[in-house]
Amino acid sequence: MSIAITVNGERRDVEEGITVAALLASLDIRASRVVVEHNMRILRAGDFGDARIEDGDELEVLQFVGGG
Amino acid sequence: MSIAITVNGERRDVEEGITVAALLASLDIRASRVVVEHNMRILRAGDFGDARIEDGDELEVLQFVGGG
Amino acid sequence: MSIAITVNGERRDVEEGITVAALLASLDIRASRVVVEHNMRILRAGDFGDARIEDGDELEVLQFVGGG
Amino acid sequence: MSIAITVNGERRDVEEGITVAALLASLDIRASRVVVEHNMRILRAGDFGDARIEDGDELEVLQFVGGG
Amino acid sequence: MTVTSDPTVPAASAATGAASDDALRMGPAVLRSRLIHGTGKFPSDDVLRDCLAAAQPDMITLAIRRLSLEGGGRNELEGLDLSRFTLLPNTAGATTAQQAIRMAHLARAASLSELIKVEVVGDERTLLPDPAGTLEATRVLVEEGFTVLAYTSDDVVLALRLEEAGAAAVMPGAAPIGTTLGIQNPFNVRLIIDRLQVPVVIDAGLGVPSEAARCMEWGAAAVLVNTAIARARNPVEMARAFGEAVVAGRRAFLAGRADISFEAVASSPTAGLPTSSS
Amino acid sequence: MTVTSDPTVPAASAATGAASDDALRMGPAVLRSRLIHGTGKFPSDDVLRDCLAAAQPDMITLAIRRLSLEGGGRNELEGLDLSRFTLLPNTAGATTAQQAIRMAHLARAASLSELIKVEVVGDERTLLPDPAGTLEATRVLVEEGFTVLAYTSDDVVLALRLEEAGAAAVMPGAAPIGTTLGIQNPFNVRLIIDRLQVPVVIDAGLGVPSEAARCMEWGAAAVLVNTAIARARNPVEMARAFGEAVVAGRRAFLAGRADISFEAVASSPTAGLPTSSS
Amino acid sequence: MTVTSDPTVPAASAATGAASDDALRMGPAVLRSRLIHGTGKFPSDDVLRDCLAAAQPDMITLAIRRLSLEGGGRNELEGLDLSRFTLLPNTAGATTAQQAIRMAHLARAASLSELIKVEVVGDERTLLPDPAGTLEATRVLVEEGFTVLAYTSDDVVLALRLEEAGAAAVMPGAAPIGTTLGIQNPFNVRLIIDRLQVPVVIDAGLGVPSEAARCMEWGAAAVLVNTAIARARNPVEMARAFGEAVVAGRRAFLAGRADISFEAVASSPTAGLPTSSS
Amino acid sequence: MTVTSDPTVPAASAATGAASDDALRMGPAVLRSRLIHGTGKFPSDDVLRDCLAAAQPDMITLAIRRLSLEGGGRNELEGLDLSRFTLLPNTAGATTAQQAIRMAHLARAASLSELIKVEVVGDERTLLPDPAGTLEATRVLVEEGFTVLAYTSDDVVLALRLEEAGAAAVMPGAAPIGTTLGIQNPFNVRLIIDRLQVPVVIDAGLGVPSEAARCMEWGAAAVLVNTAIARARNPVEMARAFGEAVVAGRRAFLAGRADISFEAVASSPTAGLPTSSS
């Protein structure tokens, strides 16, 4: 079954029970380079594998970019 | 009997039961030109005659001066 | 007979023996408002009537204009 | 016999017949470092030995100094 | 160019001296003169009175202070008929919003008006204003019904915040109070004038009349001058000069300056020269 | 403020302390107004006439040019009563001393006066003056009895040389003619004012009245303004503003500015505040 | 003059190029280069990398943004070995203290360091900082253990307040972000440098290396440059030039400038000239 | 940053985009360093020698003076190996063209070269140059085969005349000699740089390295610095700083500055912020 979540402001349907680590992998994102905020709470990289995503969750996947 | 009050930061001994109007008169100050703060409460000029001063009261007698 | 002169840099044919005063009149110019240089010599206004123009003469007829 | 000359604006008495080279040597000045103007004429360093000084002559002995 | 049809030029100003309807409104105050005149540090009462007669301001600033209990409290304002002026008491001396609010209350009691210049000093050495205190005092006093003119730095965002807080005018300083150093930051001052809807009054640090005129040419609503007049060698003539300069600067603003050209352009005709070789 | 009565002033200043006869003398010319008004590039005769009425100068500048032979030579000065002004013809258009001298002779014949503004342009692009030509023309014309006002750059030594050559006034430019860029070199302009004995008139490049006032505050004897008025959106009001600003700046110079302080100094008393903790 | 005994000159700087112990310390950061290098708006990754190689900064700024979910989130920092630099993430984009605090938390998670440049914009048009928001964010983040470098206006009192709030450095802007207009308010910038104990880093609006050097000569601790490098015609050479200019300016500050003289003083001897009349 | 290797640079710039041979040619002189170093007024021979080692100029200026007849004529140049430098003797002390020409002849005899800096002072108080004398000396010496670098004011037309007279370089002063006041007239200095074909060297009055860099950024060919180094608290470090700043300024000129924007432009991306309300 799939659930609806919001990633970086966009609605996405993902597998129920997916972890953050799995989500990143499915998006082809290397976990080492990003910061993830899960329902407004920042996850430590070490916790990506344990963090399960529920229906309606909001995720922000962020990284450093050029800035002044 | 006299009471001790503070006027403009200085200790003064005055007659018990004196009014603000009488205090100003005794100091040769024209009531029309000043603002009086009695225990941090601003008095209207019309109330100077009724305002009785108690022992320990604090008065500020202020006026406009040159400023920028 | 006519002669060829230069007035303000332009070639003109005028009557032989014409005076500066007559030239100005023919051009509808009031003598009081101008300065005339006749063959590089400045004429006094009083001399306009006597100053005869010869063939090949150069005249500058000048006036004040707005300037800074 | 001695003659009176002016060197750098000061009067000096020197031996009659002295050359510029000898004058510089007597003043302990190395010829290689100076320019000499003899009666307003600049001498080449090679001519110092031949240039004889006469009574009343004026000499300027100059060198480079710090400047901006 | 048909001058009078120019929409940037009020018709009234063409015919008369100062535009007859070019009054500055701030709350209840309506000022024809855009020179706000300080009253501190003058050499004598007489000089102050003569300065005001020379400069002819509509609004003057005042401070509120303890009356000296000996001598009946005579002061430099004694000789003045204050009723001829719109009074702008200040909160000078305050270093917190609370103190400024208290002084505003006292000033209201003394002036029977709700005009107040909020001044909260944040640094004793430079007398520059405290951003947070100024903003808080402005908010509270606006809430209470005061018409607040807020003395501030040349910080653009703070000026915007003061406007949002309801200030009737915002008063950025040209330079620290009393220095007469003149306008230190033309860029910010002009930005504040451009961005705000409320009148911008340049306060503090002006040194000479030309600087007052310059502010007015940029579109400042008014200038406040104290030290530059009070400490001039001849204060009365300097007061008059400031009055004239403010009129000139305002008039120039309304008239609209010539466009700058980076190429030289002759003022006299380039054609019509007598032949050089003749 | 009763500036409308006479912006060129002395009446008012007589009472108070400014010099009661503050006229500017250059050769035969005696000027009460220290604004010298150009007459070039105005949108119309009417506007020029109204500007002169508004600014009330005593001296105006003129150029001398060929009359157009068609149409009887009407020009923008037609509507003016020149006899009301001290005329200062210029030699604009000259690029050599010889041309300037010739134009001075023509101007003398036209004005019946020996006042002349020497202007020898050395660079067609910037219209900046030619040092050698300006100096030579000045020398020759002074010799011939002219009262020479010499337009020059802000070169200090050249200004000294012009004074030595007998110029009745030296006229350093603020910026290239017609740019309205304003004073580009305050340092040199002030140095020239300080070093010369003859009047220093700031000419060319001023843009707004505040800059004219600033020159006067430094001790300039007068300013010459043309483009900044002629090209303003509302030339008449701008002319009036320049007139007022020149008066203000001169008055401020005579009044003597307050000393600059690098430390802030309160304008309101620092003592006598109500107790904060009571 | 015995140079080395001069107490204002660190002994170390006499012997070597850049003073060997002239490092700038802000919290955990120790910087030998006083040019902080921005990484935004570069034409390409390659150019950015080459600029950093040319300018050799120790500290670079970064922003934190959403990764693009398509394409694996490649960005302009891809080619950089970030571990070679001290990273200074900013809170750019925040318009409230709360947003800035959230971004600081995210940045900390990404950089594994507590260095943060607090930037709270108060006006979308000028991007000038919000006084209250900047101060609040600084207070909270300092409390939480961050080393805060606070981007601020040139408001002197606000700079003092940020220091009191525990900022490790205060970063007044020279001009609005991205304009390259250069230092608009030398007076306030110098006042801030003089009054604060913590390092003052000039941020935003610098246009050319000479301005960076000028800030350093005044005693600024460092400068932050982004647009002036990223948008130069040749960014790499401009980066190198900024690096050199910052070194030059710092060195000049330590060396101590010559006293200004208002009188001219010959550089060559005035005595010893050959007789002119001989 | 490896500035110590060679502050006069080209090696580094060859790789990246600055001109690989950016030498300055004036007559026979070919200069890699664009800092011309004065040698007057140094506290000691040792300091001068160390300054030259630190700044690494190719060209140095000298004066010619009477040797003291007592003591064998030791002077501050004693310790220098002059053969390592291109010598630029000056005519300082001359107040007429004739004196300058005589000094040029003496200098030629001493240096065995025809490079000469023409300097004819027109005013003893400001030491500003005499326009006519400078121009005449330049004409005569160019005729005689000298390579003339002409010290001049910031008068634009005079600069053009000196170029026409054959000067190999024109050297406008930033401010009066020895003042270290810095650039007083940016407008004219830039105009001179733009209008002339020959190299423009900024001479006299610079105070700090940032001003030298600024001149170079405008396109000046070189700067001449003496007092600002000789009178610094630490002349050796200041010499080095000037050397670095001149390199930085030249590099920035070649790199091409970013365009000024009057609107703020964010340095960090405006998109991609985390949702604020989530």
User: Which tokens hold the place of F17?
Assistant: 């302390």
Q: In a 3-state reduction of DSSP, which class is residue E46? A: helix
Residues of B with CB under 8 A from a CB of E: 7-10, 27-30, 33-35, 37, 42, 44, 60-68
Chain E environment of G123 (Cβ under 8 Å)? 156-157, 160, 195
Chain H environment of F122 (Cβ under 8 Å)? 157, 160-161
* Distance in Å, alpha carbon of H238 to nearest chain F alpha carbon: 26
Give the pLDDT confidence of H213-252 residue by residue, as tens digits: 999 999 999 999 999 999 999 999 999 999 999 999 999 9
Q: Which residues of chain E have pLDDT under 70?
A: 1-20, 71-74, 276-278
The complex scores an ipTM of: 0.86
| Closest in F72, F106, F177 to C62, CB measured | F106
Interchain CB distance below 8 Å, A68 and H268: yes
Q: What is the DSSP letter of H21?
A: -
Out of F117, F161, F250, F251, pick the active-site residue. Answer: F117
Q: In a 3-state reduction of DSSP, which class is residue H117? A: strand
* CB contact burial E148-187 (16+ within 10 A = b; e otherwise): bbbbbbbbbbbbbbbbebbbbbbbbbbbbbbbbbbbbbbb
Q: In a 3-state reduction of DSSP, which class is residue H18? A: coil
Q: For residue B64, what are the β-bridge partners?
A: E64
pLDDT of the residue at G17:
44
Interchain CB distance below 8 Å, F90 and E210: no
CB atoms within 10 A of CB F16: 17
| Closest in E33, E50, E262 to F1, CB measured | E33
Q: Give the dihedral sign, CA E249/E254/E258/E262.
A: positive
Contact assessment for residue H225 and residue G218, using Cβ atoms and an 8 Å cutoff: no
Q: What are phi and psi of H129, to 5 degrees?
A: -75, 150
Interchain CB distance below 8 Å, G241 and H249: yes
How does DSSP assign F6-45, residue by residue?
A: -TT-THHHHHHTS-S---EEETTEEES--EEE--SS-S-H
Contact assessment for residue G75 and residue A63, using Cβ atoms and an 8 Å cutoff: yes
G131 touches chain E (CB under 8 A): yes
pLDDT at G171 over 90: yes
Q: Crossing angle for the helix pair G209-218 and G235-255, nearest 10 degrees?
A: 20
Return the CA Rg of chain F.
21
Give the pLDDT confidence of A14-67 residue by residue, as tens digits: 998 899 999 998 888 887 778 999 999 999 888 898 999 999 999 999 999 999
Rounded Cα distance, B13 and B53, in Å: 11
List the end-to-end C-alpha distance of chain B, in Å, as a whole number. Answer: 44
Beta strands, E only, E78-188: 86-89, 115-118, 147-152, 169-172
- Kindly state the helix (H) or strand (E) to which residue H260 belongs, with its residue range: none
Chains G and C touch (3+ CB pairs under 8 A): no
Rounded Cα distance, H53 and H39, in Å: 13
pLDDT of the residue at F271:
85
Give the pLDDT confidence of C47-65 residue by residue, as tens digits: 898 999 999 999 999 999 9
Rounded Cα distance, H15 and E96, in Å: 59
- Kindly state the helix (H) or strand (E) to which residue D3 belongs, with its residue range: strand D2-7
State the average pLDDT over residues H64-76: 75
Chain H environment of G256 (Cβ under 8 Å)? 232-234, 238
Rounded Cα distance, H252 and H216, in Å: 8
* Distance in Å, alpha carbon of E86 to nearest chain F alpha carbon: 16
Mean of the per-residue pLDDT values of chain H: 89
- Kindly state the helix (H) or strand (E) to which residue G275 belongs, with its residue range: none
Rounded Cα distance, H161 and F131, in Å: 9
**Burial of F256: CB neighbours in 10 Å, binned 0-12, 13-18, 19+:** middle
Rounded to the nearest 5 degrees, what angle is found at the Cα of F220, between the Cα atoms of F219 and F221? Answer: 110
* CB contact burial E8-17 (16+ within 10 A = b; e otherwise): ebeeebbeeb
Active site members of G: 117
pLDDT at H166 over 90: yes
Which strands make up the sheet holding G147-152, listed edge to edge? G115-118, G147-152, G169-172
Chains G and H touch (3+ CB pairs under 8 A): yes
pLDDT at F29 over 70: yes
Interchain CB distance below 8 Å, B68 and E77: no
Q: Give the dihedral sign, CA E219/E222/E228/E234.
A: positive
Contact assessment for residue H96 and residue H134, using Cβ atoms and an 8 Å cutoff: no
Contact assessment for residue G42 and residue G70, using Cβ atoms and an 8 Å cutoff: no
Nearest to E169 by CA among E186, E189, E152: E152
Rounded Cα distance, F214 and F246, in Å: 9
* Distance in Å, alpha carbon of A41 to nearest chain G alpha carbon: 10
pLDDT at G11 over 70: no
Rounded Cα distance, G77 and G67, in Å: 12
Which strands make up the sheet holding H169-172, listed edge to edge? H115-118, H147-152, H169-172
User: Which tokens hold the place of F13?
Assistant: 């200043």
- Kindly state the helix (H) or strand (E) to which residue E18 belongs, with its residue range: none
How many Cβ contacts (< 8 angstroms) between chains C and E? 22
Cα distances (angstroms) measured from residue G150 to each of C1, G32, G110, G163, G212: 94, 20, 20, 9, 19
Chain C environment of E271 (Cβ under 8 Å)? none
pLDDT of the residue at F96:
96
Mean of the per-residue pLDDT values of chain G: 89
User: Which tokens hold the place of A36?
Assistant: 């993830």
Rounded Cα distance, E193 and E202, in Å: 10
User: Which tokens hold the place of A50?
Assistant: 């344990």
- Kindly state the helix (H) or strand (E) to which residue C27 belongs, with its residue range: none
Give the pLDDT confidence of H171-219 residue by residue, as tens digits: 999 999 999 999 999 999 999 999 999 999 999 999 999 999 999 999 9
Whether E41 is a known active-site residue: answer no
Contact assessment for residue C11 and residue C20, using Cβ atoms and an 8 Å cutoff: no
pLDDT at H9 over 50: no
Chain A environment of H278 (Cβ under 8 Å)? 6, 9, 40, 58, 60
Interchain CB distance below 8 Å, D42 and H105: yes
| Closest in H73, H90, H226 to D63, CB measured | H73
Interchain CB distance below 8 Å, G66 and A10: no
pLDDT at G255 over 80: yes
Contact assessment for residue E232 and residue F255, using Cβ atoms and an 8 Å cutoff: yes
Residue H276 confidence class, pLDDT cut points 50, 70, 90? low
* Interface test mutation site (partner C, options F41, F44, F66, max chain C beta carbons within 10 A): F66
Please give the biggest Cα pair distance in chain E: 90
Q: Which chains touch A (3 or more CB pairs under 8 A)?
A: G, H
User: Which tokens hold the place of E183?
Assistant: 């306008």
Residue whose token pair is 């990246």? H16
How does DSSP assign chain F, residue by residue?
A: --TTS-TT-THHHHHHTS-S---EEETTEEES--EEE--SS-S-HHHHHHHHHHH--SEEEEEEEEPPTTGGG--TTTT--GGGSEEEEB-TT--SHHHHHHHHHHHHHHHSS-EEEE--BS-TTT-PBPHHHHHHHHHHHHHTT-EEEEEE-S-HHHHHHHHHTT-SEEEEBSSSTT-----S-HHHHHHHHHH-SS-BEEES---SHHHHHHHHHTT-SEEEESHHHHTSSSHHHHHHHHHHHHHHHHHHHHH-PPPP-SS---SS-SS-PPPS--
Chains D and A touch (3+ CB pairs under 8 A): no
The residues, ordered by sequence, that sit 6+ positions from E228 with a Cβ below 8 Å of its Cβ are: E180, E206, E207, E208, E238, E242, F257, F258
* Distance in Å, alpha carbon of F267 to nearest chain B alpha carbon: 5
Give the pLDDT confidence of F188-228 residue by residue, as tens digits: 999 999 999 999 999 999 999 999 999 999 999 999 999 99
* Distance in Å, alpha carbon of H208 to nearest chain F alpha carbon: 18
Interchain CB distance below 8 Å, D37 and G269: no
Contact assessment for residue G18 and residue G251, using Cβ atoms and an 8 Å cutoff: yes
Cα distances (angstroms) measured from residue E30 to each of E33, E58, E59: 9, 8, 9
What are the counts of helices (DSSP H) followed by strands (DSSP E) for chain H? 9, 10
Residue whose token pair is 């009737």? E168
Give the pLDDT confidence of F112-158 residue by residue, as tens digits: 889 999 999 999 999 999 999 999 999 999 999 999 999 999 999 99
| Closest in G128, G207, G249 to H209, CB measured | G249
Nearest to B8 by CA among B22, B24, B21, B19: B24
Interchain CB distance below 8 Å, H278 and A66: no
